[in-house]
Structure 1
Amino acid sequence: MLNKKWLVLGVFFAIVLLALQVTPGIRTYMNAVKAGVKPIVSINNWGNQEAIPVMARAQLIESEKVSRSNLLEIIEEEASKRKVLPINAKIDPVWKAVPGYNGLEVDIDETLKLAEHHLTPGKIQYVMKETSPSIQLEDLGPSPIYKGNPMKPMASFMINVAWGNEYLPIILETLRKENVHATFFLDGMWLKKNVDVAKKIQSEGHELSNHAYSHKDMRMISRSKATEEILRTEDLLKQQVGVNNTLFAPPSGYYNEETIQVASEFKLKTVLWTFDTIDWKNPGADRIIQRLSKAIEPGTLILMHPTISSSEALSGMIKMIKNKGLTLGTVTELLSPNRVPEANSVLWE
């Protein structure tokens, strides 16, 4: 009987010792009690209870705080290197009103958030955001505009339409094929007779704007007549095609200070051009492309009309402009301070 009793006790103690060896939670609990630290109990990945001393848990949390602090420090240091200051709009002695251009900086909060939850070893996703200039185009007062900001890698076609529809379908087909949107400045008398054509142009994503009503020399008419010329076309744009217009291109580029003032009273920016195709002289497609290739730069406003020369040159102009690293947009897009979109708004480091 005695030997059997000792045998049972021996088996019991062997089981206890084995449990202590294979169960980390029990060992942690015992060690915590011996160290005088009150343990807490949690459930581990295997569904078993696991004791974690309060002191050890606090140290873990503190370690995480330090890690986050270091991460923020890295992001803030990199943010100072990546910051691009915005450029204010200004009055240039040659180009008159020149639009501003947004700056760029790291969105620290969003970048930190991504880094904490989607951390890729050795890499941080830097989320960028635009910052506005303190002086905008609207702050400059009434002034003509001949080009966009020279730091904005974009150009724009401004197509003045006052007569002839023969080459418009070719121009629209080319723009569609090349996925380019332009701004069509419409003469009011033309628009009144061609509302359906104007709606077709608009339906393809192009911008419609004001080219006065009857192609008058705006320098040679009275203030009341200038008001009438602009107002009649504004009314047609709004009532016939539903456009809330913001731009005015004076016929033949003729204007005076009063013209600019009258346009501004309708909340219209007066837009001229940086490069003239002179397509009404029928110079030929090759000549237009050759001249433009030497003149094109960021911010260029390209004047053209629905003529045979421009219709034949358009595809070549677009390819050449894109090959020089410029995008093409409407006049409103070019004059806005918004940056040309990057391939990604999130950059890796």
Structure 2
Amino acid sequence: MRTTSPFRLAAMLACLAAVLAAGRYSPIGDYVQAVKNERSASIAFDEFGASDQRQLEEWIRTEASKLREPPVDAVIDRVWKAIPGYNGREVDIGATIAQAKAMGLKPGGNPQDFPWVFREVAPAVQLDELEPAPVYRGNPNKPMVGLMINVAWGDEYLPSILNTLRDEKTKATFFFDGSWLSKHLETAKGIVKEGHEASNHAYTHPKMSALGEARQRSEIARTEALLKDRLGVKNKWFAPPSGDYNGLTVRVASELGLRTVLWTLDTIDWKSPPPDSVVAKVAARAEPGTLILMHPTATTEQALKGIIRAVRAKGLEPGTVSDTLSSARAERRKP
């Protein structure tokens, strides 16, 4: 067997040490070490990111279950008759996670400050699925108030009323008497053009409950034809003159595609009360879902701005009857 001399072995060991040293301290060694460090850092980042992502998703799902608000079905109430439903809401988990990742957020902190993405959940029963019944108010969960303006005489106060609605960036529902509408079509067109809602108030302002079926049908249908053919309106509401109706009225209106609507709060402005008293009345009694009845009178002309601001001071938003009675959610206004 051939053996290696001690001198030769020492030389080999010295060479090996030199190679190792070169690998550690030479430019080549620096490159090798950099690659190793980068790979190590990448692995550590990936492991942290995946863990953090799992924690974020778990936290979002846990908190989301606490934020869900169930929808409220439309019902027939013994006192208030037909009450519309109200959409619930739930967190859109996928959209919230995607948004949180895009913003580089991590789990924890105050859930109220988190950028949740919500989606609405419709009730199982909607207003139009209920049997024919009048509506006196919106859903008490919806922070809106409906402005109803019944128009059957005069137009001298309408320009000022419209100016106030425009200045306050508020929409209302105007219920037109057909005989008035036929004589003031241009005024009505201007009202619709400004984004207000136009609805049906019969044709000759009769006492509906005193009429037979044929006459009731004619009163509603004639005005509805004007709304559709002359104003281009697709209407869904009928407000009986003086709030007078019977079961036949409700049925006939329903057969014509309309739901009978009345009011929650009457300003009685046709008796010319002081405008300040009307504003005080609204401030005291307006609640979520309240429908406020007015007419184009001097009292309403002077009180309307105060009415709108009194409603908003209670965290409610004034608007049309359709907006107030829809199941769509509305955010409570900051007073």
Q: Is TM-score (shorter-chain normalized) higher than 0.5?
A: yes
* Aligned amino acid, residue 19 of structure 1: P
Q: 2:30 aligns with which of 22, 27, 51?
A: 22
Aligned residues: 311
Deviation at 1:66, TM superposition (A): 3.5
Matches within 5 A, 1:104-253: 104-120=89-105, 124-253=114-243
Partner deviation per Cα, 1:294-321 (whole Å, 9 max, x = no partner):
2111111000100111111111111111
Deviation at 1:136, TM superposition (A): 1.0
Partner deviation per Cα, 1:66-85 (whole Å, 9 max, x = no partner):
43322211001000111111
Question: Which stretch shifts more, 93-102 or 118-127?
Answer: 118-127
Deviation at 1:164, TM superposition (A): 0.5
Partners of 2:24 and 2:293 lie apart in 1 by: 92
* TM-score scaled by length of structure 2: 0.86
* Aligned amino acid, residue 77 of structure 1: T
Q: Are the aligned partners of 1:188 and 1:214 in contact in 2 as well (CA < 8 Å)?
A: yes
Partners of 2:275 and 2:331 lie apart in 1 by: 31
Tell me: CA distance 1:227–1:80, structure 2 relative to 1, closer, same or farther (3 Å): same
Q: Are the aligned partners of 2:316 and 2:332 in contact in 1 as well (CA < 8 Å)?
A: no
Partner deviation per Cα, 1:280-338 (whole Å, 9 max, x = no partner):
11112012112222211111100010011111111111111111111011000000011
Name the % identity.
Answer: 48
Deviation at 1:125, TM superposition (A): 2.2
Partners of 1:15 and 1:59 lie apart in 2 by: 25
Match of 1:96?
81
Partner deviation per Cα, 1:18-40 (whole Å, 9 max, x = no partner):
224432566629xxxxxxxxxxx
Partners of 2:283 and 2:115 lie apart in 1 by: 38
Question: Which stretch shifts more, 179-188 or 60-69?
Answer: 60-69
- Secondary structure of the equivalent of 1:156? strand
* Aligned amino acid, residue 203 of structure 2: Y
Partners of 1:185 and 1:283 lie apart in 2 by: 22
Partners of 1:57 and 1:23 lie apart in 2 by: 16
Match of 2:4?
none
Partner deviation per Cα, 1:152-207 (whole Å, 9 max, x = no partner):
11101100000100111111011111111000000001111111000111111110
Partners of 1:62 and 1:220 lie apart in 2 by: 80
CA RMSD of aligned residues (A): 2.4
Partners of 1:339 and 1:217 lie apart in 2 by: 36
- Secondary structure of the equivalent of 1:125? coil
Match of 2:58?
73
Partners of 2:98 and 2:149 lie apart in 1 by: 46
Question: Which stretch shifts more, 334-343 or 91-100?
Answer: 334-343
Partner deviation per Cα, 1:208-253 (whole Å, 9 max, x = no partner):
0001111111101111111111111111001111001011101111
Partners of 1:62 and 1:148 lie apart in 2 by: 53
2:323 is the alignment partner of 1:323: no
* Aligned amino acid, residue 225 of structure 2: D
- Secondary structure of the equivalent of 2:148? strand
Deviation at 1:117, TM superposition (A): 2.3
Tell me: CA distance 1:231–1:104, structure 2 relative to 1, closer, same or farther (3 Å): same
Match of 1:337?
327
Deviation at 1:65, TM superposition (A): 3.9
Gaps of 5+ in 2: 1-17
